[in-house]
Structure 1
Amino acid sequence: MSDAYVPVFADYHQFVIGDSEAFATGEQEVQQNPDPTGLIITPHRMWAYIATGVSIGPVAVNLRLRSEVPSSHGLTEWEDVAEVSLFVRDGEKIAAFDLDQTGASSPALAPAPGWHRVRVHARGRDARYDLPTDVPVEQYLIEVWHAPFRPAEKVKLTSAAGVSLLAAWGDQDEGFAP
């Protein structure tokens, strides 16, 4: 399977994954503690912030809809990996987009309604940590599949950016129920 990365604009060290309409209307139903992963910040019911190393600029994002749980084979290619559950209402789509929704976004996925698991893979977050960039130096693979709700999970965390973010928030492994 070939990867097609699209640039998504990161600002304030983050971009968003989830339903853009729910994000735009300000639905603020927080379902889990802030950042227990070092990669996914403040998961909400239908969207979450993804933490970047760059302070501002494009990051390369590839979004995949899976029919089943993806294999853990290939995780060694990534510095940081985390999972979170997101809810999709009927007719909604999942995409990666910038905070003000004016820039390029990833192609939108249209999964079936219900809970989905989202696995975020990241690499390159230390390359220009806390600096602006004009070209993507970070890559993200985001895989989505239908699955029951589970709390956020830190799968792998090796970047200095992720470790420092986790330390800043504290290692909060407990999640909230949906």
Structure 2
Amino acid sequence: MRYTSWTSDRMFVSYRQYYLQGDDFLTEYDDADTVERIYTGNSLAAGGPEHLTVLAGTHTGWIRLTTQQCAGEPVLPGQEWETVVDVSIRSTSGVLRLFRWGGDVVEDAGNFATAGAGWYRVRVQARGRDEGDAHEGDAPVEEHFMTVWPAPPQPDAVHTANDAFARAHYDPTRPPGQPVQP
């Protein structure tokens, strides 16, 4: 399977958040309820047209983040990842870039809308969110892995929800989050 990857041990998060965001996001769409949908949904990520918000355990500081752009769905990860979710988002501009809270784009990570405008599936894997929540040092203790590939829209899928935040907020008896249409 063809893919492009990028890794950083110094991905800065503020307010526990980082994003994928498209060129049309702030002019055409907003994310007024995205964080709320994370808390009441899969506990890790939620998105809509031109954006995805990911919730880290680290409030303000560094995490290790690896991203991957694939042509098709990757193999599910092993049990070393504490929380793993899949979310559908739509790119209307044909551009999805990685952003830090506050609007700083991470240019090195590239454009995640590899097939242009259309629907994408995003798998976010996290481990160390509990440690990140309690951590106050400079070295990252939390790690995320985000994979993006073109795919038709589907409801959110929670493969694993085993960190403390997920156990407190994810309720498997609730219906899964649905893709937000443009």
Pairwise TM-score range, normalised by the shorter structure? 0.7 to 0.9
1:111 aligns with 2:120: no
The one-letter amino acid of 2:17's match is: Q
Residues 137 and 157 (structure 1 numbering): CA distance in 2 closer, same or farther, change over 3 Å? Answer: same
The match for 2:60 is: 56
Q: Distance in 2 between matches of 1:2 and 1:176?
A: 25
The one-letter amino acid of 1:43's match is: G
* Residues 121 and 151, structure 2, Cα contact 8 Å, conserved in 1: yes
Q: TM-score, normalised by structure 2?
A: 0.79
Q: Distance in 2 between matches of 1:71 and 1:177?
A: 25
**Aligned with 1:76: secondary structure?**
coil
Gaps of 5+ in 2: none
The match for 1:65 is: 69
The one-letter amino acid of 1:99's match is: W
The match for 2:78 is: 75
**Aligned with 1:126: secondary structure?**
helix
Q: What value does the CA root-mean-square deviation take over the aligned residues?
A: 2.9
Match of 1:38 among 40, 43, 63: 43
Shifted more, 122-131 versus 138-147: the winner is 122-131
Q: CA deviation at 1:71?
A: 1.0
* Residues 47 and 86, structure 1, Cα contact 8 Å, conserved in 2: yes
The match for 1:141 is: 145
More helix by share: 2
The one-letter amino acid of 1:28's match is: D
Residues 59 and 117 (structure 1 numbering): CA distance in 2 closer, same or farther, change over 3 Å? Answer: same
Residues 55 and 111 (structure 1 numbering): CA distance in 2 closer, same or farther, change over 3 Å? Answer: same
Q: CA deviation at 1:162?
A: 2.1
Q: CA deviation at 1:103?
A: 7.0
Residues 29 and 135 (structure 1 numbering): CA distance in 2 closer, same or farther, change over 3 Å? Answer: closer
Shifted more, 83-92 versus 139-148: the winner is 83-92
The match for 1:101 is: 103
The one-letter amino acid of 2:15's match is: Y
1:87 aligns with 2:101: no
Q: TM-score, normalised by structure 1?
A: 0.80
Q: CA deviation at 1:133?
A: 4.2
Q: Distance in 2 between matches of 1:148 and 1:174?
A: 15
Gaps of 5+ in 1: none
Q: CA deviation at 1:34?
A: 0.7
* Residues 97 and 106, structure 2, Cα contact 8 Å, conserved in 1: no
Residues 103 and 70 (structure 1 numbering): CA distance in 2 closer, same or farther, change over 3 Å? Answer: closer
Residues 34 and 130 (structure 1 numbering): CA distance in 2 closer, same or farther, change over 3 Å? Answer: farther
Shifted more, 58-67 versus 42-51: the winner is 42-51
